[in-house]
Every structure is written in structure tokens, then in C-alpha cells.
Structure 1
Amino acid sequence: MRNYRLGRVREQLQSLGYGGIVLFDPVNLRYATGSRNMQVFMLRNPGRYVFIPADGPVVLFDFPNCEHLSEGIETIDEVRSALTMSYVASGYNLEDTAKKWAQEIADLMRQHAGENNKIAVDKIHPSGAIALAKEGMRVVDGQEPIEHARSIKSKEEIEAMKISVRTAEAGMVRMVEELKPGVTENELWSHLHQTNIAQGGDYVETRLLSSGERTNPWFQECSDKVINEGELVAFDTDMNGPLGYFTDISRTFYCGDSKPTDEQRRLYQTAYEQVQFNKELLKPGMTFKEYAEKGWQIPDEFFPNRYFTVAHGTGLSGEYPYIVYSEDFDEKGYDGVIEENMVISVESYIGSPGGKEGVKLEEQLLVTKDGVENFSSFPFEEKLLK
């Protein structure tokens, strides 16, 4: 799996004519090398990065005294100590640190890319970009090649993603068991985290669980609110599970033994219809624009509160492509082609502006030559579908 992913990165570099790439984003770095170290910490502290030439040895620059963490990983040819380009690490010496950093990277480029000075970087401190330019390097966007590399999954990646989904489902089963009137949102949400960590997973990227009136509008974060009888509880897993792979499925539960209201059932059944329609529509060879145009038409009532994508890629996180509603395509969309072995999460959020509650549903799907394979078998709420 590691060799496949590194090969994908190099294919993209070569197709774009880039001499090499530097990856700071810990998710991208893990994709390209299979190596991890303090991943959440590194999201805001640029103390770990990797240089990958289009052809040549891979050099990982790790946090001081962490070189041993990558021993035995065949995708890494050399480990050096990283220079952290941040004011916290360098203070008023930041410019000097950036100069030293750029000189080392530029030397690697000249050694392994020759006269090709196009170096891709996924994210970089401004001082580093300036210093690279002074070294004669042409800095280009590194997210383009890495996103396209990540978008097509190998059979091993697909199996890893299924392991992550099974882990999330085990956590969701515990959530169902613990969902009783009187439990707080935070308490309920903790069961997904605990299950993930116990089974070797990494972390949960967001805090998207809400109940009752907090389900509308969407994106309200998990809180100490007490969940009451008869309330809807909506959540999005956004979970980096075992082997780092992302599980991105959503469900909305009903709390208690009472009968759901007609309005709750209407919202749920509308969201369910959107997900099922768009799931069946998905197939290889469709353009993003075609998928958006043929997608389920959200009623005007729910359009203002719509989710920001109809569907999006999933891998080691939410990733390329983002497919937006047809009404948003000219302003926010971009085109491309849905390909076999992409993994796509199909989204729905249904809630009226000013409405009491809302429903969030989402499925994670492998695009096959014949259509899709659903990674999750977790059931929907029967009492809300009746």
C-alpha cells in the first residue's frame, strides 16, 4: 500500500513536469510515506516534512530525536532532522531558519531534478517560499498532484478503509446503546472516540454531534446539552480510524421510546430520499457537472440550509473532488470525471431556515465499474422511515 501511494505521487509529479515535492501536511506526508508522528500537533507546527523527487531517494525531515520512528519503512531512503519554520521555534531568527531550510531543499532539487526548478509544496510558511525563490526555485501548488494521487484507491487502501468503517460502526452501536434521555451530547459522542482509540485509530476531525433544536442549522458543535426524550440526534463521524483512513458517514437517531412527530419523519424521509437517489446515480465516467445536474433536486424550503457539497472524495481525510449543487456550480464548482476506485461520500442535510430540527445523513461509497459498493451496513432509523 505504501509503495502504491508513493508511486501515485511520483506519477502526478511527472505528468505535471515537476522536479519534486515537499509535503508538510501530516495527512499528505502519511499518504506518501506511511510514516506518522504527532499528527495533530504537526497540523499547526511545521516541524516535520518530506522531500520527494519525481525520480530519486525520498528524504524525510523529522522532529528532533524522532528519526527512529521511520526505521524499516521502505518508502523512506533517508531521515534528517527538521528545521521548524515558525516564530515559536525560531523567534527573530525565523528568516535565517528559512534560508537554511531553503538551501537544503534546493540542494536536493539540484541533485535529483537537475535543471528542473519546479518544486511543489502543499503548505509553507511565507518565509520559506520567499527563501526558495531566492535559491532559484519556482514554487508551485503541491495540493494538486497530491489530491489527484490520493483520489484513486488501491485494493489495499479499500480494505484499510473498510477496517476504519467497521471501527466507526462499532462506536455507533455503542452510541445507540447509550442514547437515553438525560445523557449529554459530549457523553454520547465520547463512545465513538473511545472505540476508535481502543481499536488503534487516530482521532476525530470535528465535533459534529447535536440534538434537538441544535440540529438546525447544521455545523453546531457537540456540547454539554442534555438530550431529551423525543429529540433528534444528528452526527457526522469524521473519524480517522486504524491505518489513518477516514470514515465519513452520518446518521440521525431518535431519542426515546415515544413516537416521532410527523415533521421529524418528513425531514428524515426527505434526507433519506436524497441520499438514496444520489447514491444510485453515482457511476464511473460521469463528469462532476453531470452528476450535479442529474442529482436529486432539493426542495426550495431546504435550499438555504443545504450542505455545501452534494458529494466529496474520502481517503485519509475528506478530499478531492468536491461536487457542489448545480445551482452553485458556476460560482463554486469545478469539473472533472468520476473514476473507478474513487471513494465518494454522498451528503444530505435537510432543515428549513427557522425550523425546529434538521436531519443529517451520509453514505461512503466505492465507485466500481458497475456502480457503487457501500462501505457501511449501519442501519437507518426504522421509526423515522415509517
Structure 2
Amino acid sequence: MRQYRLGRVRDQLKALGYGGIVIFDPVNLRYATGSRNMQVFMLRNPGRYVFIPTEGPITLFDFPNCEHLSEGLETIDEVRPAITLSYVASGENLYDNAKEWAKEIADLMAQHAGSNKKLAVDYIPSVGAVELAKQGIDVRDGQEPIEHARSIKNKQEIEAMKISVRTAEEGMIRMQQALEPGITENELWSHLHQVNIAQGGDYVETRLLSSGNRTNPWFQECSDKVINDGELVAFDTDMNGPFGFFTDISRTFLCGDSEPSNEQKRLYQTAYEQIQYNIDLLKPGMTFREYAEKSWKIPDEFFPNRYFTVAHGTGLSGEYPYIVYPQDFEEKGYDGVIQENMVLSVESYIGSPGGKEGVKLEEQLLVTKDGVENFSDFPFEHRLLK
């Protein structure tokens, strides 16, 4: 799997004519090399990065006293100490450290890319970009090659992703079992985290669980609110599970033994109709625009509170592509082609502006040569579908 991923990255670099890439984002770094170290910490601290030439040996720059963490990885040829380009790590020496950092990267480019000065960088502190330019390096966006590399999964990645999904489903079962009137949102949410950590997962990216009137509008974070009998409870797993794979599934539960209201059933059945329609539509060879234009037509009542995508890529996180609603395509969309072995999450949020509650549903799908394969068989709420 590591060799496949590294090969994907290098193929993209070659296609774009780049001499190499510097990767700071710890998710991208893990994808390209299989090496990880304090992944959440590194999301906000530029203390770890890797230089990957399009051809030649790979140099990892790791956090102090962490060189041993990449021993045995065939994707790493050399480990050096990182120069952390942050004020908290460098203080008044930040600009001098940036000059030293840029010279080291420029020397590696000269050694392994020759006269090619085009260097992709996924994310970089501003002082680093300035100093690379002074070294004559032509800095290019590194997100494009990485996102396109990550978008197509091989067999091993697909099997690993299934393990992450099974882990999330076990957490969801625990949540369903624990859901009784009187539990708080935070207490309920903790069950997914516990299962994920116990089974070797990493973390949950968001806190998207809400209940009752907090389900509308969407994106209200989990709180200490007490969940009451008869309330809807909506959540999005957003879970980085075993092997670092992202499980992105959404469900809406009904708390307690009360019969659902007609309005709750209407919302739920509308969201269910949307994702089922868009799942059936999904096939390789469709363009993003075609899929958007043919997707389920959301009623005007629910359009203002719509989710921001109809579907999006999923892998080690939410990733390329984002496919937006047709009404948003000219302003926010971009085109491309849905390909076999992409993994896409199909989304629905249904809630009226000013409405009492809303429903969030989502499925994670492998694009196959004939259509799609659903990674999850976690059931929907039968009480809300009757």
C-alpha cells in the first residue's frame, strides 16, 4: 500500500512537470510515506515535513528525537532533524531559521531535480515561501498532485477502509444502545470515540452531534444538552479510524419509545429519498457537472439550509472531489470525472429555515465499474420510514 501511494504521488508530479514536493500536512505525509507522528499536533505545528523528489531518495525531516519512528519504512531513505518554522519554536530567530530551511530544500532540489526549479508544496508557513523564492525555487501548489493521487484507491486501501467503517459502525451501535432520555449529547458522542481508540483508530475530526432543536440548522457542535424523549439525534461520524482511514457516515436517531411525529417522518423520509436517489445515480464516467445536474432536486423549502455538497471524496479525510448542488456550480463547482475506485460520501441534510428539527443522513460508497458498493450496512430508523 505504501509503494502504491508513493507511486501515485510521483506519477502526479511527473504529469505536472514538477521536480519534487515538500509535504507538511500530516495526513498527506502519512499518505505519501506511511510515516506518522503526533498527527493532530502537526496539523497546527510545522515541525515535520518530507521532501519527495520526482525521482531519487526521500528525506524526512522529523520532530526532535523522533528519528527512530520511521525505522524500517522502505519509503524513507534519510531522516534529518526538522527546522520548525513557527514563532513559538524560533522566536526572534524565525527569519534566520527560514533562510536555513529554504537553503536545505533548495540544495535537495538541485541535487535530485537538476535544473527543474518547480517545487510543489502542500502547505507552508509564509516565511518559508518567501525564502524559497529567494533561492530561485518556483513554488507550486502541492494540493493538486496529492489530492488527485489520493482520489483513486487500490485493493489494500479499500480493505483497510472497510475495517475503519466496521469500527465506526460498532461505535454507532454503542451510541444507539446508550441513547436514552437523560443522556447528554457529549456523553452519547463519547461512545464513538471510545470504540475508535480501543480498536486502534486515531481521532474524530469534528463534534457534529446534536439533538432536538439543535439539529436545525446543521453544524451545531456537540454540547452538554440533555437529550429528551421523542427528540431527533443527528450526527456525522467524521472519524479517522484504524489505518488512518476516514469513515464519513451520518445517521439520525429517534430518542426513546415515543412515536415519531408526522413532521419528523417527513423530514427523515425526504433525506432518505435524496441519498437513495443520488446513490442510484452514481456511476463511473460521469462528470461532476453531469452528476450535479442529474442529482435529486431539493425542494425550495430545504434549499437555504442544504448541505454544502451533494457528494465528496473520502479517504484519509474528506478529500477531492467536492460535488456541489447544480445551483451552486457556477460559483463554487469545478468539473472532473468520477472514476472507478474513487470513494465518495453522498450527503443529505433536510431542515427548513426556522424549523424545529432537521435530519442528517450520509453513506460512504466505492465507485465500481458498474455502479457503487456501499461500505456500510448500518440500518436506518424504521420508525421514521413507516
Report TM bin, short chain.
over 0.9
Letter matched to residue 25 of structure 1: D
- The one-letter code of the counterpart of 1:348 is S
1:125 and 1:91 map into 2 onto residues whose CA distance is 14
- In the alignment, the residues of structure 1 paired with residue 109 and residue 336 of structure 2 have an alpha-carbon distance, to the nearest angstrom, of 31
Aligned-partner Cα distance in 1 for 2:357–2:58: 51
- Counterpart in 2 of 1:155? 155
Cα distance in 2 for partners of 1:98, 1:4 equals 33
Q: CA–CA distance in 2 between the matches of 1:77 and 1:273? A: 51
> Residues of 1 paired with 2:364 and 2:79: CA distance?
36
**What corresponds to 2:13 in structure 1?**
13
Q: Distance in 2 between matches of 1:121 and 1:160?
A: 28
* Aligned counterparts of 2:72 and 2:283: Cα–Cα separation in 1: 39
How far is the alpha carbon of 1:9 from its aligned partner? 0.2
Between the aligned partners of 2:71 and 2:180, the Cα distance in structure 1 is: 47
Local SS of the residue matching 1:6: helix
CA displacement 1:38-75 (0-9 Å, x = unmatched): 00000000000000000011110000100000000111
Shift of 1:89: 0.5
Aligned partner of 1:219 in structure 2 is 219
Q: Following TM superposition, by how much is the alpha carbon of 1:92 offset from its aligned partner in structure 2, in angstroms?
A: 1.2
Give yes or no for the alignment of 1:244 onto 2:256: no
**Does structure 1 residue 123 correspond to structure 2 residue 123?**
yes
Per-residue deviation at 1:321?
Answer: 0.1
Q: After TM superposition, give the deviation of residue 350 of structure 1 in Å.
A: 0.1
Aligned residue number for residue 4 of structure 2? 4
Q: Secondary structure at the match of 2:129?
A: helix
Quote the Cα distance in structure 1 between the aligned partners of 2:155 and 2:80.
32
Runs of 4+ in 1 over 3 A off after TM superposition: none
Partner of 1:94: 94
2:112 maps to: 112
For 1:158 and 1:214, the matched residues in 2 are separated by 35
| Cα distance in 1 between the residues matched to 2:184 and 2:76 | 45
Post-superposition CA distance 1:75-103 (Å, at most 9, x none)? 11111100000000011111001000000
Aligned twin of 1:296: 296
Aligned-residue CA RMSD in angstroms?
0.3
Normalised TM-score (structure 1)? 1.00
**Can you list the C-alpha shifts for 1:216-261, whole angstroms capped at 9, x where unaligned?**
0000000000000000000000000000000000000000001000
Q: Could you tell me which amino acid in structure 2 is paired with residue 192 of structure 1?
A: L
Paired AA for residue 290 in structure 2: E
Instruction: Please give the residue correspondences for 1:337-348 in structure 2 after superposition, counting only pairs within 5 Å.
Output: 337-348=337-348
Inter-partner Cα distance in structure 1 for 2:122 and 2:367: 27
Does residue 1:359 correspond to 2:343, yes or no? no
Residue identity opposite 2:185 in structure 1: E
Give the Cα separation in 2 of the matches to 1:317 and 1:360.
Answer: 19
- Quote the offset at 1:108 in angstroms: 0.4
For 2:23, the equivalent position in structure 1 comes to 23
Deviation for aligned residue 1:131: 0.4
Separation of aligned partners in 2, 1:323 and 1:16: 24
Instruction: Give yes or no for the alignment of 1:321 onto 2:304.
Output: no
- For 1:370, the equivalent position in structure 2 comes to 370
Gaps in structure 1 of 5+ consecutive residues:
none
CA distance in 2, matches of 1:346, 1:86: 38
* 2-structure distance, mates of 1:332, 1:344: 18
TM-score by length of 2: 1.00
| Amino acid across the alignment from 1:152 | I
Letter in 1 for 2:92: Y
Separation in 2, partners of 1:275, 1:360: 10
Report what 2:167 is aligned to: 167
Mapped to 2, the partners of 1:67 and 1:166 lie a distance apart of 33
Letter in structure 2 aligned against 1:200: G
Indicate the residue corresponding to 1:283 in structure 2. 283
